[in-house]
Amino acid sequence: MNDSLQTRRIQDLVDGSMDAIISVDEHMRIVLFNQAAAQMFGVTSDGALGRPIDQFIPARFREAHAGHVAAFGVGQHPRRSMGRGGMVAGLRANGEEFPAVASISHSELDGRPLFTVFLRDAMQEVHARHALEHSRADLQLNSELLERTAAMAKVGGWELDLTTFVVTYSKETARIHEVDYPYVPPKLSQGNEYYPPQAWPTVEAAVKQAIEFGTPYELETPFITAKGRHIWVRVQGFAVQEGGKTTKLQGTFQDITERVYAEEEKRAMADRLALATRAGGIGIWDLDVPTNTLIWDDAMYALYGASADQFAGAYEAWKACVHADDQARVEAEVQASLYEGKDFDTEFRVRWPHGEIRTMRSLASVQRGAQGEPVRIVGTNWDNTAQKASEEALRTSLKEKDALLKEVHHRVKNNLQVITSLLRMEARRSAVPESVHVLKDMQGRIQSMALLHESLYRTGTFASVDLGAYLGRIATQALQSHQTGDSVAKLSLHMGSVGVGMDQAMACGLLVNELVSNCSKHAFPPDFALTKGAEVRVDLIPVNAATVDADAMWCLRVSDNGAGLPADFEERRKRSLGLQLVSDLTQQAGGILDIGNHAAGGAAFAITFKAQAPAALVVP
């Protein structure tokens, strides 16, 4: 073979190479530039030959490239990779940079050095590498997201290899099992350790069906963790088959304890609600406002005396059941609840299909959408007919008893007035002064009792008496009945207001009658010289003004500015029926009696007592 033929063959091999081949001389001028190099750099071979190689190297790398080539030329290795990891940067004729895999060799031609570079465009490779790196990053991110999502959802994965019968857990599945991760892979035979005896047969049967027939399964079952904690899990499994034979089982494993317990609590609450509504005869209704659909439970049909086939299931159908006289009011209340935010708490009458009228009580709550518009109203009904009848009967009974009590007190007062009139007539007929005084004292006592009964039937309050107002009238009446033309005393009243029961009021009234009468008869004798007008004073005041309430301590005080108590008062007291009554009545009122002369002159009788709250009036 001659040299020219061999040269042509070498040239054909060079031109046919898919890699770019460029040879430069010692001056870094191109002496060989094949077709692959022309395509890579975007320039013809003729346009490249004889030109410096720097035109295909980015400017920032040219100086370093020249130094590397010079160093390579004096080295001992005839061939090596270029750049980092065999990667260099090339510069196309259009100014575009691109990565390339390069290797360089040096030889001599006619005693002159020759450097040959072999290049392969690595753009796709770099893109692929970057894509791979991104894919790995995305995979890592997705893996982390999946792991976090699994932890939040309490869902893990598992796989059973039927060739080794080893079970592989995901991290979340291991956490649910409460085993360490990484962990020692369990055997299938250990599965029954995690399930209660009553649950394992079901799980085992599902696994066998999946292995033998490829049947997928989904179970919710009680579970016992490695630490002995009892929970609920949801297990899904499906078969992976090769050649018609199951080789693996794969699936998910989820902790559903919270959901199961929540559903159990929800069922329990529903059962309790159903029991309560059934026991209370309460019906529940649900109106979908946009669709005008009204749903009743069974109790509602019973309350309205209707059946499901008689009810159209719309708002208008319910409205038609409402008594005609109540429809407008109830409609206004419904609209106010829907569109004005008012509470729906009302009472209305309904007419049953056969004409019977029943009274219903209804409560409801409105549910609203994102814009505040009403979307649903849920409420209750219960039959209030019996309660309304009972209330009406009670009102009637109270009116009758009120009228009866008024009549009783009125008649008692009239009878006491009759007795007083008889005593007055007897006193006028008697010629014995002592008898006249006794009869007059008895009249005053009876009139004080009559005044109490008169106060009760006039005010209509039978259990409680305003003690201040009542005692003021008693004092006025008692003083007037003992006044004479020659001796007129002024009455000064300072009466607080406190409600007490009839018994305490009666005792206090008799006390005031006796004490005012006693002042009228004995405080201002003819031989007593007054420096100012005669005065009888009656006070009813709280002992401690800061604690005025129904159970506070009160002081009833009757005083005068007369001659005061005589020296032999205690002896006279023993012989006086009136003063003996004062002591007895003080005890009856639950008080303490204090008698004495006050510094300004005159006598004072003070009764300190605890105001007794009126007892409830019981009428048989």
CB neighbour class for 504 (10 Å; exposed up to 12, middle 13-18, buried from 19): buried
Mean pLDDT, to the nearest integer, of 430-446? 69
Would you state the pLDDT for residue 611?
Answer: 86
Q: Tell which wins on pLDDT, 230 or 393.
A: 230
d(CA 373, CA 309): 32
d(CA 388, CA 394): 10
State the pairing for strand pair 499-500/374-383. Answer: unpaired
d(CA 250, CA 216): 10
Mean pLDDT, to the nearest integer, of 70-94? 70
Q: How far from chain centre, in Å, is Cα 282?
A: 24
Instruction: Note the pLDDT tens digit of each residue in 549-599.
Output: 656 789 999 998 888 888 888 888 877 777 888 888 899 888 999 998 887
User: Which residues have CB under 8 Å from 256's CB, separation 6+?
Assistant: 154, 220, 232, 233, 234
Would you state the pLDDT for residue 245?
Answer: 93
pLDDT bin (cut points 50, 70, 90) of residue 1 is: very low
Res. 374: pLDDT tops 90: yes
Instruction: Note the pLDDT tens digit of each residue in 3-61.
Output: 555 556 666 667 778 888 998 888 889 989 998 889 989 999 888 899 999 899 999 88
Instruction: Note the pLDDT tens digit of each residue in 453-510.
Output: 566 556 656 567 888 888 888 888 878 777 665 556 888 999 998 888 878 888 888 8
Would you state the pLDDT for residue 613?
Answer: 75
Lowest mean pLDDT of 279-288, 359-368, 417-426, name the range: 417-426
pTM over 0.75: no
Residues 558/489, Cβ–Cβ less than 8 Å:
no
Q: Which residues pair with 616 in a beta bridge?
A: none
Would you state the pLDDT for residue 459?
Answer: 61
Mean pLDDT, to the nearest integer, of 305-333? 88
**Number of Cβ within a 10 Å radius of residue 375:** 16
**What's the chain's Rg over C-alpha atoms?**
58
Check: CATH 3.30.70.1450 for 3-121? Answer: no
Check: CATH 3.40.50.880 for 304-383? Answer: no
Q: Minimal CA–CA distance to 446: which of 478, 472, 476?
A: 478
Lowest mean pLDDT of 85-94, 344-353, 356-365, 587-596, name the range: 85-94
Res. 149: pLDDT tops 60: yes
Would you state the pLDDT for residue 17?
Answer: 80
Q: Which residues pair with 294 in a beta bridge?
A: 287
Lowest mean pLDDT of 54-63, 403-412, 417-426, 441-450, name the range: 403-412
User: Which residues have CB under 8 Å from 264's CB, separation 6+?
Assistant: none
CATH top-level class of 154-261: alpha beta
Q: Minimal CA–CA distance to 448: which of 420, 485, 490?
A: 420
Instruction: Note the pLDDT tens digit of each residue in 89-117.
Output: 889 999 999 888 888 887 877 778 888 88
Q: Minimal CA–CA distance to 481: which of 434, 513, 528, 526?
A: 513
User: Which residues have CB under 8 Å from 168's CB, separation 6+?
Assistant: 158, 159, 160, 161, 185
Structure tokens given for 481: 């009945």
Q: Minimal CA–CA distance to 509: which of 550, 541, 466?
A: 466
Q: Tell which wins on pLDDT, 202 or 114.
A: 202
Would you state the pLDDT for residue 503?
Answer: 83
Structure tokens given for 509: 């009234």
Mean pLDDT, to the nearest integer, of 230-253? 93
Would you state the pLDDT for residue 208?
Answer: 92
Mean pLDDT, to the nearest integer, of 160-165? 88
Compute the half-sphere exposure of residue 230: CA atoms within 13 Å on the CB side of its CA. 6
Q: Tell which wins on pLDDT, 307 or 206.
A: 206
Check: CATH 3.30.565.10 for 463-620? Answer: yes
Would you state the pLDDT for residue 253?
Answer: 93
Q: Minimal CA–CA distance to 116: which of 28, 54, 4, 6?
A: 28
Average pLDDT, the chain: 82
